[in-house]
Structure 1
């Protein structure tokens, strides 16, 4: 599975349309995997993403307790990016409405803007 960002319109951030943000995507689709998230990991590969999928859009929380490295978090509703935020180890907390949340290595979401589309694609 891979994570692709599609800009809203022709955009100089992307050469030729969409860009791949992550080529290795894990899906946290159980209560246990969602509660654990990236806790206790020391790092993740540069082209990695952890996707939290939910059945409906509502306010969703992220915390950084026991996460040892910074991440970029992206909140998505119906495929459209609502918010992007850099979260810092141990001390960050954020909440936004979403039916999909994606956690990426810090800097990986620098090319993503609210309004862009994020798509999880099967390989």
Structure 2
């Protein structure tokens, strides 16, 4: 009798694991990598331009994914193994205040740009360390944060004082 119960429990467990793996791999934006981590695909939701503080010239344009609620902001770029070269994530907050970010569960080194309500870049943290719980904070109140691949700001000569403008795609 015990062996029948164990066999049934084992069968149910195998079916549950198989069903979970099947449904996870059916999502078009998520796949399981060799290391068992989830690879989350970039989902373009708009574009963002960096503008020079001196003359308003466009320094660069990127595709953006938007984190505009608590759940999306909390997840950010965590668990991702890559980010396209000319892409980033725009975090939109409800209130302009000191913002702080960390890199826990974030595998990609990033440049973090903190932006105030006037769309001015007020703080840049370059080449943030992956998988660390260090706090990267804005030096003044920020309404937005833009994350791009590490080295992007240096490559495109984006500095504090420059501005951003963005346009979200219609769904």
SS of 1:27's partner is strand
Q: CA deviation at 1:93?
A: 2.2
Q: Are 1:19 and 2:41 matched, yes or no?
A: no
Moved over 2 A (4+): none
Q: What is the aligned partner in structure 1 of residue 135 from structure 2?
A: 93
Q: Greater Rg, structure 1 or structure 2?
A: 2
Moved more, 69-78 or 108-117: 108-117
The CA distance in 2 between the partners of 1:27 and 1:74, in whole Å, is: 14
The CA distance in 1 between the partners of 2:145 and 2:113, in whole Å, is: 6
Contact 1:71-1:103 within 8 A present in 2 as well: yes
Please, what TM-score do these two structures have when normalized by structure 1? 0.87
Q: Label 1:51 to 1:99 Cα distance change in 2 as closer, same or farther (>3 A).
A: same
Tell me how many residue pairs correspond in the alignment: 117
Contact 1:21-1:47 within 8 A present in 2 as well: yes
1:74-117 deviations in whole A, cap 9, x for unaligned?
00002001011121101242111210000001111221111111
Greater helix proportion: 2
Contact 1:21-1:108 within 8 A present in 2 as well: no
Q: What is the aligned partner in structure 1 of residue 123 from structure 2?
A: 83
The CA distance in 2 between the partners of 1:118 and 1:62, in whole Å, is: 19
